[in-house]
Structure 1
Amino acid sequence: MSHPPEHPAPDALAQRFVQFALDAGVLRFGEFKTKAGRLSPYFFNAGLFDDGAKLGRLAAFYADAILASGIAFDMLFGPAYKGIPLAAAVAVELARRGHNRPFAFNRKEAKDHGEGGTLIGAPLRGRVLIVDDVMSAGTAARESIAIIRGAGATPHAMAIALDRQEMATEVGPDGTVRDVPYSAVQYVQRELGLAVCAIAKLSDLLQYLEHQDDAAMQAHRARVQAYRARYGVG
């Protein structure tokens, strides 16, 4: 019986994406407080893919990951707010590659003039692929699913840039926040029934850092590894 290698070969697409995110200043090291109140040694802010060249390259990474995943879908949906430019850019890139799909997005506040409502773009129908940046607690995923189902379509899958592979949190009846033994991505997969396609995972970031000779990068790797040992899943 063959066994998987102890250190699997790095995913080339994910490694290129990690390098791109670092070069763009989107992925940073330091000390950052997360929504869950944790002190994370790294931060990923997709809002800093903030010019045409960066957004175009990002869309290409999404398209590569989506097409490689084999996920079948009929249209794209971008949840407000970061998902809006992501879904639009990915739709353009997929069309450039011969996979033209309609897309839609929502706004937070309904308009009472013009077209009205909260949905903009193509009518939601068929199997919908939700495009977002990261998932922290799965809240945005649940909101998107409700919107898509409310329109009579099927929430089918999600595409995200980075899977943090860390424990999600939930609020108890008394208002206290506690860790749960699964990640937001695992929750979406297991409980909500959606496939999830991520360009890169935290494990890919660790593999990237493992192959850097720079002393500062090795120090970052030690802190990220310790963070994963404490909060990591998946």
Structure 2
Amino acid sequence: MTWKNKFIEFSLKKGALQFGNFKLKSGRNSPYFFNSKYFYTGSDLLKLSQFYVDMIIRDPIKIDILFGLAYKGIPIATTIAIILYKKYNINLKYTFNRKEIKTYGEKGIIVGNNIQKKNIIIIDDVITSGITIQESISIIQKNSNDNIISNIFVALDRRERGTIKKNSAIEQIKNQYSCNVFSIINIYDLIEYLSLKKIYPEKIKKIQDYQKSYGIHQ
């Protein structure tokens, strides 16, 4: 099995890849959903985060800080930092954002290490229209204009259009922020896997119909 197939099987087994009718933040109604909350044990987090680590170390990239997007990117980024140190002796700093600004104590919306003048890798679970990532980059840039968003890593790229119709979400982010976006799998990897295994044929058809409305080509 390829590492993509291993990830898909892991996600299906844990119930993180779901099929049904789901309203997304983008307002789109989707026949499938990726919910990383189902990776809720230490073993699950280690296994999930190792897939990210494999992407990160595959090619040399400059990293100062791992930035976990609230909320689902936070435990993933934290676990990635631990794996990188324990297995590869890479001692990275990590930080994350709050959904709401804290008005007491240390206050603010950024938790963790100072992110000024840093090469930042953003960690999240899914990219759909790119809205969440754009909002988070805006938070990072408000903290310091000297920050560089070097790369973004997600588990699933839904391969959908961004807020600008002619561009995919990934193309839009690449053009706007001059960074690369990497994913463990994209929706076409899932379609190919389900087709080869001959499972959920009715669900494949719904996903393909959805892609005709909101998706981009492989």
TM-score with structure 1 setting the length: 0.82
Distance 1:92 1:166 in 2: 32
- Map of 2:136 onto structure 1: 144
- Map of 1:208 onto structure 2: 193
- Map of 2:95 onto structure 1: 104
Identity of aligned residues (%): 37
Gaps of 5+ in 1: 1-9, 171-179
Where 2:97 maps in the other structure, the secondary structure is: strand
Runs ≥4 residues deviating over 6 A:
none
Matched AA of 1:123: N
Distance 1:134 1:213 in 2: 25
Distance 1:136 1:230 in 2: 13
Q: Would you say the 8 A contact 1:80–1:108 is kept in 2? A: yes
What is the CA deviation profile of residues 168-227 of structure 1, one whole-angstrom value per residue up to 9, with x for unaligned ones?
346xxxxxxxxx12222221112221111111101110111121134xx22222222222
How large is the RMSD of aligned CA atoms in angstroms? 2.0
- Alpha-carbon offset, residue 54 of structure 1: 1.3
Q: Would you say the 8 A contact 1:181–1:233 is kept in 2? A: no
Q: Residues 108 and 218 (structure 1 numbering): CA distance in 2 closer, same or farther, change over 3 Å?
A: closer
1:57 equivalenced with 2:42 (yes/no): no
Q: Residues 69 and 18 (structure 1 numbering): CA distance in 2 closer, same or farther, change over 3 Å?
A: farther
- Map of 1:167 onto structure 2: 161
1:20 equivalenced with 2:10 (yes/no): yes
Gaps of 5+ in 2: none
Distance 2:103 2:16 in 1: 36
Higher helix fraction (1 or 2) = 2
Q: What is the count of residue pairs matched by the alignment?
A: 213
Distance 1:197 1:156 in 2: 11
Matched AA of 1:162: L
Where 2:62 maps in the other structure, the secondary structure is: coil
Greater Rg over alpha carbons, structure: 1
Q: Would you say the 8 A contact 2:49–2:79 is kept in 1? A: yes
Q: Would you say the 8 A contact 1:69–1:197 is kept in 2? A: no
